[in-house]
Structure 1
Amino acid sequence: MQLDPPGTDALTARSSRVVNARKLQRRRARDKAERFLAEGPQAVREAIGAGVVEDLFYDLDADTRHSDLIDAALSAGAHVHACTDDGLAALAETVTPQGLVAVCRFLDQSLPAEGALVAVLHGITDPGNAGTVLRAADAAGADCVVFATDSVDPYNGKCVRSSAGSLFHLPVVRAADTADALDLFPHAQILAAAADGDDLYALDGAGDLDAPTVWLFGSEAHGLDEATAALAHRKVGVPIWGKAESLNLAVAAGVCLYASAAAQRRKLDWCHVNRLSRIYPARRVRAVALVVHVFPSGLRPSRLPFLDSFRSRQEKDV
């Protein structure tokens, strides 16, 4: 760990360390150095937790507001540097810098052997949308996110910020070709998100979403081209019941990923009887009916603590 020696002047926009770090705002420099910038306390906190921070730059105000993160970076072995306002502004890509910018190593990630839920991005060039899809995939418990053909660099500054730290939580892989990326998941169904696809909720009702799934998402402006959409087993759309013309890509992706995640978790809940006691009250009647149907001889009350109260209510109703 290393803190700039006492008495060292705060780094300015012309300091060599700042100048070199600023080069990472360009993709070519990031790929060459295998380093990227993470801006803001949330991203920096997750980067420190992932153990990938090499340098941390902070302004004098952050020395007070985010002293815990500065201490954590020091404990993790990072080089820590105080900056003037203009020095930090040179590294930050936001209008109002949040006081912290970290230089991080590329994440050493590999694809899961068998992903139950995966998002593949094809031709998504808007870093804000891409980062928000990554954040939604993380929240839904996805196993991996693949940035495939012509998609934005996941290490792009705006993409990193939009992911709100999720970049550091799950495998994020860059793939040159979408078709090759899909071949890596031979045991999963491939669903292409498309406005003219089958109704998402109809598929859910039919039980078609609980299998291992790779969701394929295209750009918000153009969607998926025909050749890429043809790589999927079926096209699926989120129904619009109001008057909106369409859904934002990241919103639609979040809906699709959560629908699959919920279906997969319901399947796990109902396949393992000892987990049924955790079901919320609104689902208990359906859960009991299912269990009694699967095990007609009945179940021990100790396995389903809410079963006796359910039966007593039935008797009262009669």
Structure 2
Amino acid sequence: MNRVEVITSRQNSLVKLVRGLGSRRAREAEGVFVIEGPKVIKEALVSGVSPEKIIVSQRALEHRAAAELVNGADLHAEVIMVSDEVMEYMSETETPPGLLGLVRMPEAGLAGLSALKTGPRALLVIIDGVQDPGNVGTVIRAADAFGADAVVTTGGCADIYNGKVLRAAMGSVFHLPVVRDAEPAELQEFLKDRGITVAATSPGENAISLSEARLAWPLAVVFGSEARGVSPEFREAAGILVRIPMPGRAESLNVAVAAGITLYEACRQRGCT
């Protein structure tokens, strides 16, 4: 770390930029998003995603994880030091980890999937209109955990670069392709062209119990919001509707919980060990 000047003013242009990136509109305009903490920044680096800038607080450098990351040979970002007060002002968390990274956003839409090799055992996860950022991030994390090849979000979903999404995903956005804001019609055409079976979760009586369903591969599993479910477009396009058997008294499951259960079963049928 070569730079010794410490930014102490909230009026600094970089500080204003980072503060503003809490807004989706600002992220889209700048083409940049913020990641926080040594763990998530390290996950980005390991996955081949290099932040353009690393911002570190004075207090954070007292901790080994932050100091090693900032001084690591594999870090090629510009490193900038700020006061602890400025870091608290920029951070979205109540207890800032003291380390921020600015990362360039990849292209939105299905262009991000164009290079994906969808082989005969491919598994894609589609998040359809889920607005809660914690749920979106947790579904991405579940997709990563159960070996999905990619995640796609449709319009109306929480932005995958929202801070709450990134914190819930715990670095999983860097482990597999995550395509944001795909148009449903374009996405359905993409799936059809590649012979990918669409399975949609549904509580309806015409849905097959997940424990009895035989999933066809390659496969895309669609998860909708708890309130509205999967959109009619995807229900109509689905080759199979599946429901999670619930012998208890709860009327429904949180979408992130439902995704974890469903993707575990998909992973099991795929032959994961």
TM-score band, normalised by shorter chain: 0.7 to 0.9
Q: Is the 8 A contact 2:69 2:75 kept in 1?
A: no
Task: State which of 176, 194, 198 in structure 2 corresponds to 1:190.
Answer: 198
The alpha carbon displacement at 1:228 in A equals 3.2
Q: Taking structure 1 as the reference length, what is the TM-score of the superposition?
A: 0.76
- Taking every aligned residue pair, what percent have the same amino acid on both sides? 35
Q: Which residue of 2 aligns with 1:68?
A: 68
Corresponding position: 1:52 with 2:50:
yes
Q: Which residue of 1 aligns with 2:183?
A: 177
Provide the aligned C-alpha RMSD in A: 1.9
Q: Which residue of 2 aligns with 1:284?
A: none
- Give distance in 1, aligned partners of 2:104 and 2:189: 28
Corresponding position: 1:249 with 2:252:
no
Q: By percentage of residues, which structure has more helix? A: 1
CA 1:168 to 1:177, structure 2 compared with 1: closer, same or farther past 3 Å? same
Task: State which of 138, 141, 144 in structure 2 corresponds to 1:138.
Answer: 144
- Give distance in 2, aligned partners of 1:67 and 1:18: 21
Q: Is the 8 A contact 1:179 1:231 kept in 2?
A: no
Corresponding position: 1:100 with 2:106:
no
- Give distance in 1, aligned partners of 2:164 and 2:143: 17
Task: Note the alpha carbon deviations across 1:41-61, whole angstroms, 9 max, x for none.
Answer: 221111223333011112222
Q: Which residue type is aligned with residue 137 of structure 2?
A: G
Unpaired segments of 5 or more residues in structure 2?
none
Query: Which entry has the higher C-alpha Rg, 1 or 2?
Result: 1
Unpaired segments of 5 or more residues in structure 1?
267-278, 280-318
- Give distance in 2, aligned partners of 1:223 and 1:26: 27
- Give distance in 2, aligned partners of 1:26 and 1:257: 31
Task: State which of 190, 209, 224 in structure 2 corresponds to 1:199.
Answer: 209
Q: Which runs of 4+ in 1 moved over 4 A?
A: none
Higher relative contact order (CA 8 A, sep 6+): 2
Q: Taking structure 2 as the reference length, what is the TM-score of the superposition?
A: 0.88
Secondary structure in 1 aligned to 2:202? strand
Q: Which residue type is aligned with residue 190 of structure 1?
A: V
- Give distance in 2, aligned partners of 1:91 and 1:128: 20
Q: Is the 8 A contact 2:34 2:101 kept in 1?
A: yes
Task: Note the alpha carbon deviations across 1:3-24, whole angstroms, 9 max, x for none.
Answer: 42x3x23444322211122222
The count of aligned residue pairs is 259
Task: Note the alpha carbon deviations across 1:213-269, whole angstroms, 9 max, x for none.
Answer: 100111122112334311211211111133333211001011111211111116xxx
- Give distance in 2, aligned partners of 1:52 and 1:30: 17
Corresponding position: 1:110 with 2:103:
no
Q: Which residue type is aligned with residue 41 of structure 1?
A: P
- Give distance in 2, aligned partners of 1:47 and 1:80: 16
